[in-house]
A and B are shown apart, each in its own frame.
Chain A
């Protein structure tokens, strides 16, 4: 097992990634699959990108000179006449059923490229540097750069300090985050993260404790994992142990899936800070009017989470009083999840529509 490497050349990341077992595929692949609805990790590729890639419109002096389809090929320039506007870009995106399209004035590109680099302060950490570059890009929107949909315009770009504060609240220094997905009585994939001095210091998987906990057939044995992580990496601050199916239900939009699974002892959140319980509990409250919500509420009443959430007279009031660090960023995790899910579905739909009559050249 690796020791935690104590050197700190940078404040942002000092990752120690242990080997990944043969059966788990690469950690990156496994982690990338977390949001996948079905099956094992999809083969990713660095150049042979999928057909759901966006398009970039290059224009100059009022004329479209090239429309690049990322992943390979071009689209006919005639399909977007004249200088792109927000309206024409949207129509173009709908016509070609593109997930995303950006238009860039080629005469502006060198200046934008320069300004992006000039915005970077070398003494900042990486997140702050990225945010600064993102701000330059957002400032260029409408001034030679157009995007559709207007992602950047809709999402606030937080200050790095606020982001750091939120992160510190979610996962204090010297503590770890443990996330296990189980499927068919075995570990499907896992993620163990340790934080120190404000930064993620270690990202690993169950392989890091494989000699202590080689198998995990049930979430009920989660304490074995937590003890090993505490001894070897850092004391867990968050522990999430879910069946793969519950994870899929959750990312598919079922807000009460985790709570129901906890009530039936198929899932474990331990340890769970108040804000995490609030998020899980908020799912229950939001769905309280539904049949599954009522059922979950009944089940929860006998559970640990239920005791925490429903032990008071009004669960909703309790949920509201539990502080959610993400609120500072203006993010509702359920809404974010829903947005991501809708986005993914839209891309899949576009791909299905595009498949029989691709216009890629």
Chain B
């Protein structure tokens, strides 16, 4: 009996468990309030509670870990067993996140200080010095995910955690999932030449070349320290370096997961969460799902970030096994952007609208260095905020008479591909390196903004810049046509690509041969392939292609909108239900298992308030606001700035919610 990942939640054997969780840090909440807090989580409608398990809190001495219920002179509760039993008593399932990296606004991100001060564990910059993360409450030297010393230390902690938690795992206990590490984006420092030059990381780079490209080993075994390519051969070296760091990330997660599995945690879901950044991601979701059960994205964005939230939801829907947000901002830490209740509701609806099926409200229960949660640290329900969230969760889960949002399906026929090779090229050639892409993303600087204008060394055009432009244009075209689409990662296996009728793939003079093989398989299986703007002639290592490019349509020189519309018409996937204000309003139709439309999301993409008119509804359809219950006129739907509304659709006289 094991917990597995389903299409819209977890499966406990054959039993479905909605993966809707709320975070509560047992170690930060006085034990006397645990019961009240957990009761409030249940009352909120969440079936799962989540908590970090910090290494630094439980390690009393090197190799000696305390999970007991003794006194707490330092203010931290350690009785993890007591907490799990309290959860089980209330029927709550549990997600645990033992790190070793946990952040949680803890000093040193929850690592014992002896780890961050250990020079053998520290990641290295291109100058050989430790990599410093300057975040409150104190800047610290970040560990290297290649360091053997670090992995040895981490394994001791993970084994202690795994041994303790194994008896509490389902079906014997409430633990259904465990997160392996946390936001492994090299501490938000994914710039190509920012780090990791730890000796063990350099050894891994050479190991990567030996395994993947043995012909390249003898040429230059030293990793590049800045982008200095002048020709195709030089360019390959830089692409290898970025790819090797992605491999290092996946390998580190795999290594830590193996420790947990050996403790018996192979019967629960092991997953990972990445922070969001629109470019320069540390690796792909599908790559992580080759070594873990699931990978998700954490979201801490506001209502105004509508477009970004949408793109992340579409990426999760297209590229992960279960579109899951392991941390969905519910309140925020005090040194982040202000976050208000309207953000909470809007972002949650935006995510659900575009395909997210599971989330963890972080933090459902208040704690130090955090504000804006619906439940106080003493279990107090926070008035309107609590009531609003409870209502939202009720709509998400459904009732006896109404299917929940996560039980519905959205027909999406088009996949827009994020191509790893071009993403890597954008990262290593970015003008801003080594400044972190994540920080630039926060400042609104896009991949295209820092991509060189000159032709990529050894190639005929500035590929990184053009790739960014092509992606934007293709997405805009589909938004204009109101065609549902997902972002699909080029690391996805063929069977996951095959669910789309149409794949839109940015393509330039080079393309990874393995990807081409999968695309050929996709076309052989009946899929339609659109390449834009050109047909590749070289492989991923810039050698002549050893295989033909599969049958495709080329967008080059034509208006993408016209070409796309024609192709979608031919495939019969143009939407039946649309809105009048096509350029400013998004619409998402969700249907039940019988294909009957149950819910329509409508969203204003712009800052300007507008009125939308829904086209394609039957006159006998009645439309209601799913959250408020009030009737809505589908011919005059008022939308405020960046507002997302969720509407129930039913036949005349069948009111979904009063």
Contacts and interface: CB of A to CB of B under 8 A. Distances in A.
A129 B449 contact: no
A71 B444 contact: yes
Contacts of B56: 9
A2 B377 contact: yes
B303 interface: yes
A110 B136 CA distance: 23
A229 to B, nearest CB: 18
Contacts of A10: 107, 137-138
B332 A28 contact: yes
A26 B343 CA distance: 10
Interface in A21-68: 21-23, 25-29, 31-32, 41, 43-49, 53, 58, 65-66, 68
Contacts of B107: 9-10
Main secondary structure of the interface of B (DSSP, over half): loop
A53 B131 contact: no
B367 to A, nearest CB: 8
A160 to B, nearest CB: 13
B338 A117 contact: no
B449 A28 contact: no
A74 B453 CA distance: 13
Contacts of A126: 136-139
A126 B140 CA distance: 10
Contacts of A129: 134, 138-139
A47 B305 contact: yes
A120 interface: yes
Interface in B282-330: 300-308
Interface stretch (B208-216, B398-406, B430-438, B505-513): B430-438
Contact of A47 (B301, B373, B385): B301
Interface stretch (A12-20, A232-240, A326-334): A12-20
B129 A117 contact: yes
B138 A12 contact: yes
**Most central of B129, B134, B443 by chain A CB within 10 Å:** B443
Nearest to B126: A110
Given A6-B74, A20-B372, A47-B308, A28 B136 contact: no
A48 B443 contact: no
B560 interface: no
B434 A45 contact: no
Interface in A117-174: 117-118, 120, 122, 125-126, 129-130, 133
Nearest to B370: A17
Contact of A109 (B75, B137, B434): B434
Contact of B450 (A14, A66, A120): A66
Given A6-B75, A66-B431, A126-B137, A46 B300 contact: yes
Nearest to A29: B338
Contacts, number: 201
Contacts of A44: 302, 337-338
Contacts of B108: 9
A190 to B, nearest CB: 13
A21 B383 contact: yes
A15 B127 contact: no
Given A19-B376, A28-B332, A45 B368 contact: no
Interface string A66-77: 101011111000
Interface in B425-472: 431-435, 441-446, 449-450, 452-453
**Most central of B131, B368, B431, B453 by chain A CB within 10 Å:** B368
A122 B107 CA distance: 12
A153 B522 CA distance: 60
Contact of B340 (A3, A29, A65): A29
A114 interface: yes
Interface in B337-371: 337-342, 366, 368-371
B382 A122 contact: no
A41 B341 CA distance: 12
A48 B444 contact: yes
B151 to A, nearest CB: 22
A47 B132 contact: no
Given A29-B340, A49-B444, A120 B139 contact: yes
Given A26-B338, A43-B302, A68-B450, A17 B368 contact: yes
Contacts of B126: 110, 114
Interface in A90-122: 106, 109-110, 113-114, 117-118, 120, 122
Contact of A18 (B28, B376, B384): B376
B296 to A, nearest CB: 19
**Most central of B338, B368, B369, B434 by chain A CB within 10 Å:** B338
B137 A14 contact: yes
B93 to A, nearest CB: 25
B340 A43 contact: yes
B127 A19 contact: no
B147 to A, nearest CB: 17
A43 B382 contact: no
Nearest to A107: B226
B378 interface: yes
Interface string B108-142: 10000000110000000111011110101111110
Contacts of A65: 431, 452-453
A48 B127 contact: no
A1 B342 CA distance: 25
A87 interface: no
Contact of A26 (B129, B331, B368, B450): B331
A15 B368 contact: yes
Contact of B332 (A26, A32, A71, A114): A26
A32 B338 contact: yes
Contact of B136 (A2, A12, A27, A46): A12
Given A47-B301, A129-B139, A58 B432 contact: yes
Nearest to A48: B304
Contacts of B137: 9-10, 12-14, 126
Contacts of A19: 331, 366, 371-373, 375-376, 380, 382
A7 interface: yes
A203 interface: yes
B76 interface: yes
B106 interface: yes
B302 A18 contact: no
Contact of B368 (A14, A43, A49, A125): A14
29 contacts: A6-B74, A16-B368, A17-B366, A17-B371, A19-B331, A20-B382, A21-B383, A22-B382, A25-B341, A26-B338, A27-B372, A28-B337, A29-B339, A43-B302, A43-B342, A46-B336, A47-B304, A47-B441, A48-B302, A48-B304, A48-B305, A68-B445, A71-B444, A117-B131, A120-B132, A122-B116, A126-B137, A129-B134, A133-B134
- The 8 lowest CB-CB distance pairs between A and B, nearest first, are A28-B338, A22-B384, A7-B75, A45-B304, A29-B338, A9-B107, A17-B371, A71-B444
Given A15-B368, A19-B331, 4 more contacts: A10-B138, A113-B434, A126-B138, A126-B139
